[in-house]
Every structure is written in C-alpha cells, then in structure tokens.
C-alpha cells in the first residue's frame, strides 16, 4: 500500500515509529507536511498538491494534525477523503475531538461518565457557573488548549472569578469543571486502536502539579485497568468516531470519568512505558480496513 503520514516533522517519535512500522510491513511510506499542501477544489475532481507534485495513488493516510493547524489539517484530510483515500481517523472525528466542549456534549449524550462541567459566555453567569461545578476548588480550561496549557486549578472562588474574567477579557472560550481531587494529580491514558484498548498507562504529575501531562514533567507507569475503564475508553473513542485515540480517564469517587479524547495520541510515552508496538498495530489495522474496503464513512461529507 501507499500510505501517507500527514505530519509536520519527520523526526517526531510518533511519525518515525509509524513510518518504520509501515516500511517493515512492505508499504510505500511517505511523510507529508500537510501545512505545505494546497488543494484544488474543482467540481468532481478534487486534487491535492505538495508544491508542484500532485499527490496521487495513496491507499491510506494517517493524520497527525497538530493542535495549531486543526482547521487547515482537517481540510487536507477531508480532501483525501473526497478522493476516496482511507483516513484512519476521519476529518469530522478529528474536528470533534479538538473541541473539548463539543466532545463532552457528545459523550454526555451517550451516558459516558464525565466530571461535572459547565460552559457559559455571559460574564454575569460566572457565579452560577462556579456553583454549578460544586464551587472551589475547580478547574478552568481553554476549549482548545493542549498539553496542559490553558488548564488552571482555581483553589478559591476569588481565584476562579479572576481567571474566568482574565480568559474572557482575551475573548477565549472556556469551560469550568469539577476538580477531581481524589485522582491525586494522576490520570489513565488508554490507547484505543480499532475498537480495542491496546495499551494503558498511568501518568502522574510532578510534585505539586495537578496536571499529569508528560510534556509538563509528568511520569508514566504501567497500569492495570478495570473492565469498566476498558469499555468506557472504547465507547468514548467510538462515540467520537475515532479508530485511533488516546482516551484520558480520571479515577474519581464516582468511578472513571473521561477527561478528554485525543485524536493524535503521542506514541513515545505509551510505547516506551508498555514496550508495545502501537505503531505496528495501527498499520495492521489500516491494512485490514483497506483490504475490507471500509473507506471512510463520511467520504469528506462532514
Ligand atoms: P490538555 O488537552 O491540555 O491535556 P486536559 O483536559 O487533558 O488538557 O487537562 C490536563 C491535565 O490536567 C490532565 O491530564 C489532568 O491531569 C488534569 N486535569 C484536567 N481536568 C481535571 C479535573 N477536572 N480534575 C482533576 N484534574 C484534572
Ligand atoms: Mg490532556
């Protein structure tokens, strides 16, 4: 198969791992910097170019779209879908997962356990918003933040009011969330590939840090997850329509709650922690889907 990894940087661990795993299985692998692509939106003949080269003959793409380029990256993925190229995660699913509020709404609708979350626009609702999530301490998040940036723990009501006011002053969309204190600065990352949890790790924030992101100095270890946690992770990925996903759970007093679902989960932490070849599993999954002519469900319609 001719497979394109849509990634800005060949040297990133995840990109290299997927590239190598594809080569090892005899595929014709390409890394394409999607930000440098341009698209031709012509009636019935959608095309995509990198410089003057027309990108043709691909069987599958693996989107690794960075948070900064969600809008453009999803347009590139959609263009491939319109050209009948299989994308392991569809563009609509990626856009859904990038908006924390939209994702949580979709998960809530299907009964997935979530931290109590509130969203509002009008500054006059701040008081009600804080009350809704159980008062201080509470977590305030930028809707499109990533790697822990824009996630704030407000210990007191006063602090929460100031943070909300500051974010609103910057015209940023935020949500307020119940602080799951009992998680102890740790979360569980479940790696879902093709409807199965293929690996899981526990991430612990560094001393004095409630955010467990590895990019913020968190450390990872192997964890055994319960059957409920496993099924929650699988259902969350499926509700958002993601074949490959990193589902983050918090262990709360009322069971595991989904905190977020990532559509381009990093592979380095999970592969080194668990010793599993996740990149290989992703390529194996794509082989199976393409062979069964699954195609993307939306064909770029979304
Ligand atoms: P990002 O997309 O920036 O990673 P997250 O929503 O995953 O944002 O939050 C970053 C980290 O903050 C999480 O990994 C978790 O450790 C911590 N965290 C987020 N929300 C909560 C919460 N409601 N209660 C407790 N800890 C939280
Ligand atoms: Mg996160």
Domain ranges of the chain: 2-96, 99-113+182-283, 117-179
CA distance 56 to 83: 9
Q: From atom 2 of ligand 1, which residue's Cα is the shortest distance away? A: 146
In this prediction, residue 215 carries a pLDDT of 86
Give the ligand with the smallest distance to the CA of 144. Answer: 1
DSSP type of residue 89: B
In this prediction, residue 296 carries a pLDDT of 67
In this prediction, residue 244 carries a pLDDT of 98
Residue 183 in contact with ligand 1 by CB distance below 6 A = yes
In this prediction, residue 148 carries a pLDDT of 79
Residue 259 in contact with ligand 1 by CB distance below 6 A = yes
In this prediction, residue 120 carries a pLDDT of 85
In this prediction, residue 295 carries a pLDDT of 67
Residue 250 in contact with ligand 1 by CB distance below 6 A = yes
Which option is the CATH number for 117-179: 3.40.50.620, 3.30.1490.20, 3.40.50.1820, 3.10.20.600? 3.30.1490.20
What is the residue-wise DSSP string for 120-144?
Answer: ---GGGHHHHHHHTTSSSEEEEETT
Which option is the CATH number for 99-113+182-283: 3.30.930.10, 3.30.470.20, 1.10.1330.10, 3.50.50.60? 3.30.470.20
Is 269:278 a contact under the CB 8 Å cutoff? no
CA distance 32 to 44: 24
In this prediction, residue 297 carries a pLDDT of 65
Q: How far is C-alpha 2 from the chain's CA centre?
A: 25
Q: Which of 210, 252, 257, 261 to mutate to test the pocket of ligand 1 (most atoms within 8 A of CB)?
A: 210
In this prediction, residue 231 carries a pLDDT of 98
Where do we find the tokens 């009964």? 111
Distance 179 CA to ligand 2 centre (A): 14
* pLDDT tens track for 38-91: 999 888 889 999 999 999 999 999 999 998 999 999 999 999 999 999 999 999
In the chain, % helix, strand, coil (3-state, to 5) comes to 35, 25, 35
Which option is the CATH number for 2-96: 3.40.50.300, 3.40.50.720, 3.40.640.10, 3.40.50.20? 3.40.50.20
Distance 132 CA to ligand 1 centre (A): 19
Distance 275 CA to ligand 1 centre (A): 25
Which parts of the chain have pLDDT scores under 70?
Answer: 295-297, 299-302
Characterise 242 by phi-psi region: left (phi > 0), alpha (psi -120 to 50), beta (else): beta
């Amino acid at each position: 198969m001719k497979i394109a990894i849509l990634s800005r940087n060949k040297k990133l661990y995840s990109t290299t791992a997927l590239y190598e795993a594809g080569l090892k299985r005899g595929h014709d692998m390409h890394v394409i910097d999607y930000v440098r692509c341009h698209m031709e939106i012509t009636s019935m003949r959608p095309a995509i170019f990198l410089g003057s080269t027309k990108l043709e003959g691909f069987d599958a793409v693996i989107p690794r779209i960075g948070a900064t380029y969600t809008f453009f990256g999803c347009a590139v993925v959609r263009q491939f879908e319109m050209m009948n190229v299989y994308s392991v995660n569809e563009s609509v699913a990626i856009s859904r997962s990038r908006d924390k509020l939209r994702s949580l709404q979709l998960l809530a609708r299907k009964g997935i356990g979530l931290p109590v979350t509130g969203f509002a626009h009008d500054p006059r609702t701040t008081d009600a918003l804080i009350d809704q999530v159980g008062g201080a301490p509470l977590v305030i998040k930028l809707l499109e933040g990533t790697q822990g940036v824009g996630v704030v723990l407000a210990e007191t009501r006063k602090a929460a009011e100031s943070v909300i006011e500051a974010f609103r002053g910057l015209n940023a969309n935020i949500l307020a969330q119940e602080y799951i204190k009992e998680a102890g600065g740790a979360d569980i990352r479940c790696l879902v590939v093709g409807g199965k949890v293929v690996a899981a790790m526990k991430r612990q924030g560094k001393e004095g840090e409630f955010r467990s992101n590895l990019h913020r100095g968190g450390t990872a270890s192997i964890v055994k997850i319960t059957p409920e946690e496993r099924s929650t992770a699988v259902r969350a990925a499926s509700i958002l329509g993601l074949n490959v996903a990193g589902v983050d759970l918090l262990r709360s007093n009322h069971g595991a709650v989904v905190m977020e679902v990532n559509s381009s989960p990093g592979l380095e932490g999970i592969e080194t922690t668990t010793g599993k070849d996740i990149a290989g599993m992703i390529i194996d999954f794509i082989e199976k889907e393409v062979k069964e002519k699954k195609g993307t469900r939306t064909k770029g319609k979304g």
